Amino acid sequence: MSDLLFMTPVFKHRIWGGTGLKDLFGYEIPDQNTGECWCISAHPNGPSTVKGGPYDGMALDVLYLVERHLFGDGYGEQFPLLVKLLDAKADLSVQVHPKDRIVNHQWVPGKSECWYVLKTDPDGAVILGHRASSKACFEKLIKEGRYDDLLIQQPIKQGDVIDVPAGTVHAILKNTMVLETQQSSDVTYRLYDYDRKDASGKKRDLHLEDALLVTTIPHQEVITSKQIIKSSHATITRHINNAYFELYECVVEEKLSITHERFLLMSCLEGKGLINGSPFTKGDHLIKTILTNEVVIEGHATWIISTPHHKNKEAFPHEHLEFR
């Protein structure tokens, strides 16, 4: 079957990573500092591969290139989104991502993202934004090392969803795990890394000049307005509808039918059951291709589902997913 593509993730060693991905999902991780699971990725720095079916073992970037009929047109030459799990045993660096831009006459995607908080401490927090009113003020506070004065901390709890547009200064802090949905980009500019050193005793590089060029100054707070949708045996919450994608949380209590003519990225965070007759369990990630318009989930489970916005909205006037 090629209407559903189950994916084999790629794992990444990170200085701030731990064993949470194994502890929570049972994954076989490569080491004790595994910070990232690239669940659904067509990025060349870590493409995930198809598990089972006629495309078994094929990397998603290759599949998107040679079998575009599974995804449809209108999303560009690069697969538009990347879904990750991040396990922050320690604080991530304070960083910022660029917006969409033109490089050598070619369009290059930025990195707008959002986080679904899977777990955190009772006093958990993230860094989201800054207090500088001007570029000069921003530079002065960094030069003087006054990061407490510069950076804004936001309390978080399990189940929170946080929109992080490109240009936003941010950091996931220790003992937090999130599912991240983002544009398919791997460009990060570090502003501050707590003066820590890597395994070789060397401080990691900072990118202050690049970061200053792309940071939104002054900070612009993003207010998300979630929409709750009820079906007979499920609760659906649309958390994000930004310029690049929509993101839904679906808590299925018995059975849920989802209708959408475009492709979907789906991650099971809790539970088990059947999806279009195929078994699934916690930690599975898959793509619904356009070969089917309907997905039927049976069982008790929590899913995060995202879909990229089509470049031609007139061709798809019904943007949102339909549930019953």
Distance in angstroms (rounded) separating the CA atoms of residues 53 and 1? 6
Q: What is the pLDDT of residue 311?
A: 73
Q: What is the pLDDT of residue 103?
A: 86
Catalytic: 190?
A: yes
Q: What is the pLDDT of residue 221?
A: 92
All structural domains of the chain: 8-214 (2.60.120.10), 227-323 (2.60.120.10)
Instruction: Say if residue 218 is preceded by a cis peptide, omega within 30 of 0.
Output: yes
Q: What is the pLDDT of residue 1?
A: 62
Distance in angstroms (rounded) separating the CA atoms of residues 253 and 267? 16
Burial code (b: 16+ CB inside 10 Å, e: under 16) for 70-84 equals bbeeebeebbbbbbb
Handedness of CA 160, 16, 167, 72 (dihedral sign): negative
Which residue has tokens 């018995």?
Answer: 254
Read off φ and ψ for residue 49, nearest 5 degrees. Answer: -125, 155
Q: What is the pLDDT of residue 232?
A: 84
pLDDT tens by residue, the chain, 324 residues = 689 999 999 999 999 999 999 999 999 999 999 999 999 999 999 999 999 999 999 999 999 999 999 999 989 999 999 999 999 999 999 999 999 999 888 899 999 999 999 999 999 999 999 999 999 999 999 999 999 999 999 999 999 999 999 999 999 999 999 999 999 999 999 999 999 988 788 999 999 999 999 999 999 998 888 899 878 899 999 999 999 999 999 999 999 999 999 999 999 999 999 999 999 999 999 999 999 999 999 999 999 999 999 876 555 555 679 999
Q: Is 304 exposed, middle or buried (0-12, 13-18, 19+ CB in 10 A)?
A: buried
Considering the candidates 14, 190, 238, 262, report the single residue annotated as catalytic: 190
Given a contact cutoff of 8 angstroms between Cβ atoms, the answer to whether 301 and 267 are in contact is no
Distance in angstroms (rounded) separating the CA atoms of residues 9 and 46? 9
Q: What is the pLDDT of residue 215?
A: 98
Distance in angstroms (rounded) separating the CA atoms of residues 305 and 268? 9
Q: What is the pLDDT of residue 314?
A: 57
Judged by phi (left if over 0) then psi (alpha if -120 to 50, else beta), residue 244 lies in alpha
Q: What is the pLDDT of residue 316?
A: 54
pTM (2 decimals)? 0.96
Q: In whole angstroms, how far apart are CA 123 and each of 36, 114, 119, 175?
A: 23, 20, 11, 10
Given a contact cutoff of 8 angstroms between Cβ atoms, the answer to whether 118 and 177 are in contact is yes
